[in-house]
Structure 1
Amino acid sequence: MNTTSTVPRLTQLSHGGGCGCKIAPAVLEKILAGLPPGIVPPQLLVGNETADDAAVYQINAQQAIVATTDFFMPIVDDPHDFGCIAATNAISDIYAMGGTPLFALALVGMPVNVLPLETIGGILEGGAAVCRQAGIPIAGGHTIDSVEPIYGLVVIGLVNPGHLKRNSAARPGDRLILGKAVGVGIYSAALKQDKLHATDYETLLASTTQLNTPGSVLACLDGVHAVTDVTGFGVLGHLAEICKGSGVAARLRFADIPLLPRASELVEAGFITGASARNWASYSHLVNIADGLGNSVRTLLTDPQTSGGLLVSCAPESVTEVLSIFLQQGFTHVSVIGEIVEGDPGIAVA
């Protein structure tokens, strides 16, 4: 039976999409600040303290567990593609810590009286396909009936404590390297209004389903000091977390930041997410954008990325090796975008 006319688009069922669903950084900070102190055993190497990508718990001298979860509402309408993007995004946090994923648990919330079971099954199959690509099983999970479609994963991995890469260990003099192009939120805003070309959709999908596997290799390099992945808070937001956690400042060169091919054009046409403005309101006090760069620069740098690239802070002498690792694994947009400098936490964009 053809249900095309009666089945709603996935993006029509969600008030936000992808990592643009995240609570704004400033609001999240206030929520967490109101919580009582929790248990912090010495084995807990990474917890809430620096808004890092995953929790890390040491179990012996050579092994630590890396645990993360990520889920969101649809960023695209194709069920399989949505599942692929959500799973890639969730697994990325393990790679950002320098870990290797072991297995996943599925988190599924679906409006079961609205979406056909075939659509829901397609979402789950997309997630399973990415997990097969990453070499891990989906070993269980949890499902609920919800108003909006939600999908994601809990992912468990392992890391050698000596190779753990936090977001709080950047050093003055480090170079900043970004692994993927920016503009996912902008593309998704255009898609939601049926204004994204088919070739642009393929570009969006290729970026958001590319596993950040270089993270596991970068973990072995002493010259790599800090790593995070750029997701819902945008380039500026996740770099601000590095600066605050490390007690340093940063300088960015906007001209060197890789962008998806039509990102700037789409911004000028008005395709901007609400999350971009919320992001800017949260951390604008830490950012100085040079006169003459214009509001589009701010929009691009606050654009929420879903399954975005790794942001690496490394010693100057390690830049060539880091770039080589990215390029060998097919990350053609990788670029050196700035440097870490001494100073109070903040970001200057020129």
Structure 2
Amino acid sequence: MSFLRSAVLRALSVSSRIESRMISSAAPLLLSPEQVHDLVDKPDSAPVSLVDSSWFMPNSPRNAKQEFLAKRIPGSQFLDLDEVASPHELGLKHMMPDKETFARACEKLGISPSTHVVLYDVHGVFSSPRALFMFRTLGHKNSSILDGGLPRWVDAGLPVETTPPSQPKATVYDAPKNEDNSIRSYEQVVANSRLDPSTNAQAELVLDARPKGRYTGNDPEPRPGLSSGHIPNSYSLTFNLFLQKHKGKDGQEYSTFLPPHEIKKALEKAVGPEETVKIIRGERPATASCGSGMTAGVLWLGLQLLGVKHVGLYDESWTGYAMRSTSQI
């Protein structure tokens, strides 16, 4: 082997190890506007990609893509969570994408495996945790959310962009080789619903992020024709209980995550102090659910902030459960 070829192979090996470390290293879960601004401003740091992952409920008159085109954090790209999803037999939207769909979406957004992805939404905290769940579950640990989203960024006096967005540079993103086992299927949830958590240590605590009225069946679901109610043996933990409201200088309200000790209090109120300790210690598995897998991401991220590393998420959530098995309500 020539000296030159040997040197090239050594350089490629070093580069591969560095890339591997960059891919596997986990970024902070939450970032403030100032931290994000500093990241983008550092020319010697890893590449940063800002991604607007805003999403609105089916009955909302607002359009996430149009709002992105009108105003965004400079240099941002838009991630359509309904578009970057795998087809579903029940026609459900924003289900977890397969590995190839995820990889192609990253390339389209200009994201490489070493990119630090910062996700945000226009609510403050609403759909960005779901987007973070997608990235982290599919192995892109170098990802965070902007806590407080676009409204907090504006409230901090940081610049926004209103001209047409720039096109990202082309990237190559190989389909992930591994993913964790966070996604729960209907069959798994049904089997788990037959277990009594008070007598079975293997029973997962299913935490329902929907408003309490929909959980109890007193209020209707936003999707026409869908019954309300809840999965047997699940607990009501409305996602807003993990969040705090703020009013910006422009009068716009937005949400951020509560401090971890306040998140713990909300969890204790929902499931009790004993089960809370078990969840935090990893002695009791927990799974987040909601209407269609969106705000379940808020509960997933809140538990991550408490140090719970392995939290399940029922991707179909109540919509899939009710459509498949209304007889079990």
What's the TM-score once normalised by structure 1's chain length? 0.28
More strand by share: 1
Relative contact order higher in (CA < 8 Å, ≥ 6 apart) = 1
Kindly name which structure, 1 or 2, has the bigger radius of gyration based on alpha carbons: 2
What's the TM-score once normalised by structure 2's chain length? 0.30
